[in-house]
Structure 1
């Protein structure tokens, strides 16, 4: 059983390097099968994660929660270490909201064009781009 008095280390890594490395009391991740909440002493787990927000309740301030936009990947937890490997990830404070809104608009335009032309490949790529942009926009509100 998880012990809220213990901490977990949370690392989020992308091909560009470490995006996040802190301690927390609780980590919430949206896995393919649903949300997972991880506290210290949780059973070891490996899970694929969706394009979603990762939330970390920090140990240094009980009222502070970090939000990180993660664009898929996988999570591994063992020995009180949460490791997330993702193609890309951004902390809320680092998200350029104007750029994310522009990417959302471009994805919506591409979706409309792809639907009109019945181009399933472009449609699928644009839908992923839209999910990524929406995730960044949502996470950016947690600055």
Structure 2
């Protein structure tokens, strides 16, 4: 059974953050970038912190962006499910708040590198990646 679109859902512990039909999506797995079209083979893969691009079916120029903070993707029978700790649509991102988080993470990273606390360095690096991802996605507006 061939289909011309997929249903895409992004789910977090706070509930469904995104639920629409799409003609194409682009995600970043821990192994690299992946483009998914309708009738894609069924897969599961871990995701990196990234900007997810979703081309909607109503118009080729209608693209949604979602900041995804890791998680998993499952593609099964034209139903794409992203499960992540957190995810935000571009329209929901407060860029100035994300900018403050970036500054805070950079400061924490600098302090952690000074004290050579490897766990704090890793934590600050993740916080910085997430803040930069939110800034990038929020800037698509």
Normalising to structure 1: TM-score of the pair? 0.95
1:24 corresponding residue in structure 2: 22
1:12 corresponding residue in structure 2: 10
Q: Deviations over 1:45-97 (max 9, x none)?
A: 10000000111000112111100000000000011000000000000000000
SS of the aligned residue for 2:134 comes to helix
SS of the aligned residue for 1:111 comes to helix
Structure 2: runs of 5+ lacking an equivalent: none
Number of residue-to-residue matches in the alignment? 140
Equivalent position to 1:69, from 67, 70, 87: 67
SS of the aligned residue for 2:75 comes to strand
CA shift, 1:37, in A, is 0.7
* CA–CA separation in structure 1 for the residues paired with 2:137 and 2:63: 12
CA shift, 1:117, in A, is 0.8
Write the mapping of 1:21-60 to structure 2, written as runs, cut at 5 A. 21-60=19-58
SS of the aligned residue for 2:61 comes to coil
Structure 1: runs of 5+ lacking an equivalent: none
* CA–CA separation in structure 2 for the residues paired with 1:109 and 1:50: 23
Equivalent position to 1:121, from 119, 122, 127: 119
Runs of 4+ in 1 over 4 A off after TM superposition: none
Normalising to structure 2: TM-score of the pair? 0.97
